[in-house]
Amino acid sequence: MTPPRAAPSHATPPPAAPAQVGSQPPLPPQQDPGAGRLIAGRYRLLAKLGHGGMGTVWRAKDETVDREVAVKEPRVPDHLPDLERSKAFERMRREARAAARLDHPAVVNVHDVAVVDGRPWIVMELVQGRSLGAALQEGTLGVRDAAKIGLEVLGALEAAHAAGILHRDVKPDNVLLGRHDRVVLTDFGIAQIEGETNLTDTGGFVGSPEYIAPERVLGQRPGPASDLWSLGVVLYAATEGVSPFRRTNTPATLQSVLNSAPAAPASAQGPLAEVINGLLNKDSARRPTADRVRALLEEAVRPPAPEPTQVVQLTGPAPGSGSGGKGVRIGPKALFGLGAAVVAAAVAAYLVIADPFAGPLPDGWKTRAHTKLGVTLGVPAAYQVTKPDADDRDKNWVTYSDYSGSIRIGLNVARKSEDSLNQIKNSAPAQMYADDEKFKDDGNYDLSMPEGATTTTDDEVTYQGKQAAENTIEYTTTDTQNPLPRELKIFYYRTTDGDMYKLTISYPGKGDFTERGREVARTAIANLEISTP
């Protein structure tokens, strides 16, 4: 695609809403109410990361030691009686005490508890990653990836149990997938610490129904085996896409936990399937011990032994590969993320930043290296490449298309060394917003794109831990005989030496190809490899 023409750059990024066209200056970025407050004389609140029933988590700056942290603000309705408010504050103190007692890399670090007007603010490390729950919105995990995550969560639970702490709310939203393959178990807000008074009201329970062990539903005294049950449900959901006990309402879900025998996992095999089936035994005494679970998960993580070379005729996907007919399978790169996702659940509210890394592509995809562009693209194997004409001096782009021409993938790089007109902006978001403003003037994203198309900008995504941006454009083609709805997704990334990369995926905006096009866009972006980041 043709590089965009010059446009005035932004001194500060514009708001996420569409920018105003004309002579009016751009509106300043909107801040979260409460941003800028100084807590306990040292923690400056910067932006909300998420909120839930027990608190709001902020990204903040510790001005004393000059580092960013996550700060959990107590969130208690004003109408609650004093006793209930006191219980809520005590739960937060227990969360801090529980996490602070644990020394394990898979448990989030608690730095401080700042008491402001009698309310405890928990100061924690800022975990860069995204939640397993967010990752599973895009697809399921392979056996080895699920087992690796299971091992880390198991380690956190073993450390907690050794310290006399039950987590009681192990679920995908409380598992963070951080940078450098780090896995962190979060939210000890409803943890039960041995020897401390139970804060749960009589006859009630806390936690997520579809992940709660049967003995807890029955009001029996839980133990470490109850947390391991929840780990088994998490592993089932990771490979199958959903908890086996999820129903349309809470009572039905709890009845399912008590009485339903879940179908054997179809995608998990071997030792991982043995772990899942064993942990979901409704009799807690018959569930495997943590040592046995660890041994099985370690076996599942080990790569299979190489088989003797032989010629075979494949009639379907290789066992354990692809999606197994169950939808999209997340590779390691997509698993640990594309984009900046905020874990807005009640407990796993930490900054979530994607950090792609190399991993296997889905079935039917291949990597295509373009050394002159400095990139390796993941594209469907059947897509055809379109190269510039031999007499075309612009060699900084490449496109792929399916045979129908309905879905197209394009990669364009604008070189800083060739940018005599200073068209390249100083960041990916700035480039996206500049392009967005130009589009509102002349529709320059695509020659067949009319005025009036809508754009959705996202300036919080990252690539390899660095700033990136993404824009989704919805429009109808200008073909007067057959106008068609289309979508165009553009991923922006600026290298440290100033080159601007744009990965563009175009596909139908309605019909059978739409979801396929969006899947192609997600996978292509997740598997983009730039050799000079």
Binding-site residues for ATP, in ranges, read 72
Q: Closest by alpha carbon to 371, among 532, 171, 202, 489?
A: 532
**How far is C-alpha 374 from the chain's CA centre?**
27
Say if CB 253 and CB 261 are below 8 A apart: no
Query: In whole angstroms, what is the distance from residue 418 CA to residue 108 CA?
Result: 46
Name the strand (E) or helix (H) holding 172.
Answer: none
Query: Furthest-apart CA pair in the chain: how many Å?
Result: 80
In this structure, what DSSP letter does residue 428 have? H
Decide: 322 and 329 in contact? Cβ < 8 Å.
yes
As a whole number of angstroms, the distance between CA 528 and CA 79 comes to 51
* Sign of the torsion angle spanned by Cα atoms 10, 11, 15, 20: negative
Least Cα distance to 29 among 519, 371, 411, 433 occurs for 433
What is the rounded CA–CA span in Å between residue 324 and residue 275? Answer: 20
Three-class secondary structure of residue 173 per DSSP: helix
Separation CA 434–CA 423 (nearest Å): 10
Quick check: helix, strand or coil at residue 500? Answer: strand
Q: In the chain, what are the helix, strand and coil shares in percent, each to the nearest 5?
A: 25, 25, 50
Q: Which amino acid is at 259?
A: N
Q: Which of 99, 95, 102, 44 has the alpha carbon at shortest distance from 74?
A: 95
> ∠ CA 158-163-167 to the nearest 5 degrees?
60
Per the CB < 8 A criterion, the answer to whether 233 and 280 are in contact is yes
Cα–Cα dist 261/355, whole Å: 38
Q: Which of 62, 145, 169, 459 is catalytic?
A: 169
Residue 346 sits at φ, ψ, to 5 deg, of: -60, -25
How far is C-alpha 229 from the chain's CA centre?
24
Give buried/exposed letters for 377-401 (b at 16+ CB in 10 A, else e): bbbbeebeeeeeeeeeeeebbbbbb
Nearest to 346 by CA among 126, 133, 32: 133
State yes or no: is 169 an active-site residue.
Answer: yes
First to last CA, the chain: 21
Burial grade of 404 (CB within 10 A; 0-12, 13-18, 19 or more): exposed
Non-local CB neighbours of 415 within 8 Å, separated by 6+ positions: 396, 499
Annotated catalytic residues are 169
